[in-house]
Amino acid sequence: MERLDEMVLRTQQHLNSTYSGNSNWVKVTENGKTGWPTIRGLIRALQIEIGISTPNGTFGPATEAACPTLKKDLSPSEDTKRLVYILQGAMWCKGFSPGGFTGTFGDGTEDGIKRFQESAGLTGANINGIADTMIFKALLNMDAYVLVSSGDSKIREIQMCLNRDYHKWIGLRPTDGRYGRDTNKALIYAIQVEEGIAEPNGTFGPQTQAKLPVIAPGSKNTPFVKIMQYALYCNGFDTTGFTGVFGNGTLKALKEFQAFCMLVADGYCGPSTWASLLVSCGDKDRKGTACDCSQEVTDARAKTLIANGYKIVGRYIAGGEWKRLKQAEAQTIFKNGLRLFPIFQRSGNSVGYFSTTQGKIDGREAVESALRYGFPEGTTIYFAVDFDAVDDQVTSNILPYFRAVKAAMSNYNPRNYKIGVYGARNICSRVGNAGISTTSFVCDMSTGFSGNLGYPLPKDWAFDQIKEYSIGTGEGQIAIDNDIASGRDNGVSSLSPTEPDDNRPEYDEDVLELINDVANKGLLAGPGVEITRFNEKFLLAIPSLIPYVTVEGELSLTEALVGPYQTINFGVDSEGISLALSDAVTNAEVNLAIGLKTIEKTLSSINVSQTVGPVKVSLDPIESGGLALILETVVKGKSPNEDATINVYQRLYVTIHPSKFPNQGNLVIPVLAENESDVSEEASKNGWVMNTAIAAASAALVFGAIYMCVAGTYALANITGLFLAASFGIRENEDK
């Protein structure tokens, strides 16, 4: 537990008592603990004192421009005393004692400022005990200016040197011994200053790149050699000193870094090496030998990839149908001499997706999907974290998710698939350092990600994603991400599909609870729906329709219908179903073998109160001459023992089998069986479950959507008539 600091508490009390009468004041919690609320309170107090019209607790350009300079003054005015109180409070919060909390800038305050200046890296005449704007700005934040427990003393040395030499441009950056965004930016500022750029901005842009010198072994360009040495160490390669002398230690470190990044290891620090030292994507125009894409790799596109020097392609084994790898596509990839690596991503684009329950589900699904595709023993599957997760989110969500993935894959993994991670540098490194992943697929083209800025390339990187672009023309055109390959994962060159073992272990209890929850709502509402796994079709008995019409249910965490489809909203109620039926029959001009009133009466006897919608509806002919209707909706399932909800897709597959009709063209099949005798012999023999809710949902969707689904696509009379005849006792109109 964080210890209460008496002087921080006095600072908080002083702020509230002094400024509580100001309408812009936001009360600071008086708990004796330094944190952003207290720091913002100090900034807001400063803004009130210097006349900022709308104090907001942020040290922005207006505050910086109006910030005062304070120095030793034993007879301060009342206005100055209030400013000194703010300064002394900031010093107590930062851990540099001013010797008291008096409102007078005496020897103790001056000495504390000098100690702070020295700790920040300033030297000589710049250690003067004067609190100017730069000092105020450095004190009024949560940065550390001492070596923290997770820090590196040599990184701290680099930070102090950068502050010493470049504080006029960068201010005082933290000197905590941790390489991060601030230190990375400071290195770029330093290069821009040495290049003579008039207005350095810390951005590695075209002007900065154009002015970069080539640093050769033995170079006497001391400032640039020193910056190169700093950058090498920050990236994990020790030059054995920061002397500005390009000796053997620096040459060895440079060549090792170049080889690690798959650059030409020639010992010359040119534009490509500078880029890899300073920005995550490095030289984004480098030609990679690997790529990944969401488009299908057709024969023409495969030839484009080969012609452009690509050898390995990453494809998705989960997610929407539009981006998933197809079995025939894999053979096209191999036939053209390309290799393949699998990516698992259903969503993964926000922190809310990542939970322990989701990890258990994804770990199992990844194994089952890889088996069905046929990936061989030991293949690495890359689980995607496709958003800018800050470090706290990595701790709270990403790591628990990956631990659950590992647990699930430890429970069932007959081909010993390995865990890979796709994400920013910090995510990849932390998942790898936790002993979960074996290799990383790094999204380095997202240069602005907080998890990339100021983090070195993970030691276990296999693929480094650096640029998104399109190559080829015509049928061969394909949009890809250009990836550098390290050789740690060369993908696979063949597949041997197999089905997961029917006797594989059950899901954990929390996953089974989720399945039970989502299997009894929406399209699948009602008793007796026996679905026990994700991504498997379970045959459901719609009374009296089997074997003429089969209905299968499925729960999935992946959307299937991405087009073409129709979307309808409806509630399961007898009036809505009946009206939809009347409209569909009228529009399709289909003759009924049984009266409309009879069907309406049957439907009105079904008591389903739950509303279902929106629902996607897709209707397609099948090879056997029948029809396949797919209904899909999404429901939210509660993740047990967690605050998160999980989106689960429910699907009904309704298939018409005309070859099984006993009397084609004159079918009278009850819509809903009230008695056991009405159930077909096949249904009784197999013991399938009766589910009136599914019957009602299917009826409503068919009646309400069949006409608009097929209009303009197929011959209405043949398809609509066949479907209604097969499903609901309708005589096909011979004239159509």
Model confidence at 711: pLDDT above 80: no
Helix (H) or strand (E) holding 717: helix 716-728
Confidence label for 547 from pLDDT (cuts 50, 70 and 90): low
Residue range 273-329, pLDDT digits in tens:
999 999 999 999 999 999 999 999 999 999 999 999 999 999 999 887 778 999 999
Model confidence at 574: pLDDT above 50: no
- Distance between CA atoms of 67 and 48, rounded to whole angstroms? 11
Confidence label for 732 from pLDDT (cuts 50, 70 and 90): very low
**pLDDT at residue number 510:** 82
Q: Are the beta carbons of 466 and 282 closer than 8 angstroms?
A: yes
- Average of per-residue pLDDT across 377-394: 96
- Average of per-residue pLDDT across 140-166: 97
Count how many residues are written for the chain: 736
CA 634 to centroid of chain Cα atoms: 20
Q: Are the beta carbons of 189 and 169 closer than 8 angstroms?
A: yes
Confidence label for 550 from pLDDT (cuts 50, 70 and 90): confident
Q: Are the beta carbons of 417 and 375 closer than 8 angstroms?
A: yes
- Could you tell me which residues are beta bridge partners of residue 619? 629
Model confidence at 730: pLDDT above 90: no
- Please report, for residues 72, 111, 172, 649, the alpha-carbon distance to residue 131 in angstroms, rounded to integers and kept in the order given: 9, 11, 13, 61
Q: Residue written as tokens 């894409």?
A: 293
**pLDDT at residue number 623:** 61
Residue range 393-411, pLDDT digits in tens:
999 999 999 999 999 999 9
- Average of per-residue pLDDT across 466-484: 97
Model confidence at 21: pLDDT above 70: yes
What one-letter code names the amino acid at 701?
L
- Distance between CA atoms of 704 and 702, rounded to whole angstroms? 6
Is the domain covering 181-278 a CATH 3.90.320 domain?
Answer: no
**pLDDT at residue number 633:** 83
Of the listed ranges 20-24, 157-161, 340-344, 705-709, the least confidently predicted one is: 705-709
- Distance between CA atoms of 669 and 662, rounded to whole angstroms? 11
Helix (H) or strand (E) holding 40: helix 36-50
How many CA within 13 A on the CB side of residue 492? Answer: 20
**pLDDT at residue number 243:** 95
- Average of per-residue pLDDT across 451-470: 96
Percent of the chain with pLDDT over 90: 64
Percent of the chain with pLDDT over 70: 77
Q: β-strand 549-556 against 538-540: which pairing, if any?
A: antiparallel
- Distance between CA atoms of 62 and 52, rounded to whole angstroms? 8
Percent helix, strand and coil across the chain, each to the nearest 5: 40, 15, 45
Residue 536: burial class (beta carbons within 10 Å; 0-12, 13-18, 19+) = middle
Q: Which has more pLDDT, 598 or 82?
A: 82
**pLDDT at residue number 412:** 93
**pLDDT at residue number 581:** 40
**pLDDT at residue number 666:** 33
- Report domain extents, the chain: 6-142, 181-278, 290-485, 509-728
- Give the tokens for residue 36: 């952003």
**pLDDT at residue number 551:** 72
Q: Superfamily assignment of 290-485 in CATH?
A: Glycosidases (3.20.20.80)
**pLDDT at residue number 626:** 61
**DSSP letter assigned to residue 394:** I
pTM confidence score: 0.78
What one-letter code names the amino acid at 660?
K
Residue range 84-107, pLDDT digits in tens:
999 999 999 999 999 999 999 999
Q: β-strand 312-316 against 339-344: which pairing, if any?
A: parallel
- Give the tokens for residue 128: 């003067």
- Average of per-residue pLDDT across 524-529: 57
Residue range 580-617, pLDDT digits in tens:
444 443 443 333 333 344 444 433 433 333 455 577 77
Confidence label for 694 from pLDDT (cuts 50, 70 and 90): very low
Mean per-residue pLDDT over the chain, rounded: 82
Concatenating the DSSP letter of every residue in 233-246 gives HHTT---S--SS--
Q: Are the beta carbons of 715 and 735 closer than 8 angstroms?
A: no
The region that residue 32 occupies, defined by phi over 0 for left and psi between -120 and 50 for alpha, beta otherwise, is left
**pLDDT at residue number 597:** 47
- Average of per-residue pLDDT across 481-496: 97
Model confidence at 707: pLDDT above 70: no
Q: Are the beta carbons of 324 and 344 closer than 8 angstroms?
A: no
The region that residue 116 occupies, defined by phi over 0 for left and psi between -120 and 50 for alpha, beta otherwise, is alpha
Q: How many helices (H) and strands (E) does the chain have?
A: 24, 14
Model confidence at 659: pLDDT above 70: no
Task: Name residues whose C-beta falls within 8 Å of residue 173's C-beta, 6 or more positions apart in sequence.
Answer: 143, 159, 162, 163, 182, 183, 185, 186
Cα angle at 13 between 86 and 136, to 5 degrees? 15
Task: Name residues whose C-beta falls within 8 Å of residue 124's C-beta, 6 or more positions apart in sequence.
Answer: none
Residue range 27-76, pLDDT digits in tens:
999 999 999 999 999 999 999 999 999 999 999 999 999 999 999 999 99
